[in-house]
Chains A and B, each alone.
Chain A
Amino acid sequence: MSTDQVAVRERRKAIGFVLPALVWTLCFFVLPFAFMVVMSLWQRIGTKIVHTWSLDNYAAFFAKPHFLQGLVNSLEITLSVTVISILLAYPLAWIIAMRIPERWQRAALILAILPFWTSYVVRSYAWMLVLARSGIINQSLLGIGIIDEPLELASTRTATIIGFVHFFVMLLTLTIYANLKQLSPNYARAAADLGAGPVRTFIHVILPLTIPGVMVGAFLTFVLCIGDYITPQILGGNKELVLPQIIMLQIGRRADLPAASALSILLMLVVTFVYVLSARWLKLERA
C-alpha cells in the first residue's frame, strides 16, 4: 500500500469521527437558523403564514416604537448589569485570590458560586420574595424605622437588575479569580521590589494584566444577559419589556413566528456587533 493510500484511509476514518457531530450541528443548528431567516421574510396574516417575501418584519421593528424601546431597554439593562457586576465581582475575586490563605481559597470560591446551583427560575422567584412589598427587605427596613412606607422594589427595572447582578457577580467572581490566579506572583513581587506600593502595583501591573480576562467575562455577561427572558419576565413587572420578552410575546400570545424570527435575528446582529467591537478593543489592548 502506498503512503498516499494510507493517508486517504486515515483521513476517511477521521472524518467518520467528526461526522456525527457535524451532521447534528447542520440538522439542528444551521438548518433551523436558515428556516428562521426564511421565516423572518414571510408574513403572518390572520392566523396564516403567507409565503410572500418582504422585509416588512424588519421594517416593523423600526416603525413600531415599542419594539425599538424593547431594544433600548435591553441595552440599558445589560450595560448597567455588566458594569455593576464587574465592579462588585472584581474586589471579591481579588480578596479570595490574594487575601485568603491558599488552602481556603477553593472553599471560598465554591461558597461564592454555590447559589449558582439553584434553578434559574427559582433564583428569580427567590428575589421576588426578598424584594416583595411585604418581603424581608421592606419588613426589615420598616422594622428599624428607616422607612415608613414599603419601597416598590419588586416588579421594577431595579429588581431585574438586582436579579441579573446576583447571577453575574457569581459568574464574574469565578472568571476573574481564575484570571488573577494565572498571574505569576512574581509580577507583584517585581513591582514591589522596584518600589511600587500596593495601590500602584495594582493599577500599573495587576489591573492591566487582568483586563483581557475581564473583557471575556464582560462579553459573556453581555451575551447571556441580553438574551435572557426569565429574569426580566419574573422580576421586571411587565412594564418595560426587553427584547426577549417581546420575542416570546410574538411566539406565544400572537403566534407570529415571522415577527419573532426577525426580532431574533436583530438580537443576534446586536450581539455580533458588540462582539466585533469588543474583539477589536481586545486586540488594541494587547498590541
Chain B
Amino acid sequence: MSDVTLDPAGHDTPAPQKRKSRFRQVFARDQKAQFGLTVLGLFIFGAIFAPIIAPYDPNEMTLNMMAGPSGENVLGTDDLGRDLFSRILHGTQISLFVGVATVSLALFFGVLLGVVAGYFGGWIDSVIMRYIDLQWAFPNFIIAVYLVAVFGTGLLNVIVAIALAFLDDFARVARSMVLSLKQEQFIDAARVQGFSHLRIMVRHILPNAMAPIIVLATVSVSYAILGEATLSFLGLGVSTDTPTWGLILADGRSFISRAWWLGVFPGLAIMLVVLSINFIGDALRDALDVRDTDV
C-alpha cells in the first residue's frame, strides 16, 4: 500500500486526493465495473425518461396479443396485447426506487443502532445486540415475507419489510467498525476536548467507518431489487396493477410455452441491473480496500 499516509493520530487513512485517484485507477482497469456503470446508467436513464422513451402506454391493451418481438413491439406483447418493452421500462422506476429507498432506510437505522451499541457498550449494547443476533439467525427473505404477510402488500410496506430485513447487516458492520475505532487515540483526544457523544459519533467515528458501510450498501441495493422482484412475483409486492418486473414475470408465467419472451425479458432486466450493481460493488471493495470478511 503506497498511497497510505499516517495522520497525526497514527491512524491509517488514505489522504482524500489519493483516495480519489485510487478510485479512478480501479475503475479504469476494471472492465466489469465499466460494464456495470454503463448498464446501470442506461437503466437509470430509462427509468427517468420512461414516459418519453416508452413507445406505448404500459397498461394499454390491444388486440395484438402475444405477438413476438418485431419492429413494432421490440420485445413483443403480452396476453392482453400490452407492449412488453414499455412495461419493463416503467418497471425500472419501481425497481430502482425500491432498491434505493430500502437501503437508505436500512442504512440509517442499522448504522444508528450499530454505532450506538458499539459506542456506549454495556447494557445498551447487550439489548440491541440480543435483538440483532436474533434477527441474524434468520434468512432475510423469510423475514420480509412474514412482514408483508402481517402488514399487507403495497409500496411502503414492501420497502419497510425489506429494509427491516436488512437492518441487522448494517448494525453489525457499523458496530464492529466502532469497536475497533474506539481504541484509537484520536477518539480519546476528542473526548478529552469535551466534545459531546453525538459529535464524536457523527464527526469522528462515522467518517472513518464508512468504507465497509458503502460497500455493504451498494451490494444491498442489488439484493433489495432482487427481493422486491421476488415478492412481486409471489403476489406479495407493490401492487397488482403497476407493472413491476416480478409481476410481469408472474403474469407471463402461464404463457411461456407459447410466448417465451414473456418469461425471458423481464428476468433479463432484473439480472442485468443486479449484475451491474454487483460489479460496481466489487470494484468499490477494491478501491476502498475493504476485506471480504468485513462485509
Whether A and B are associated in the same complex: the answer reads: no
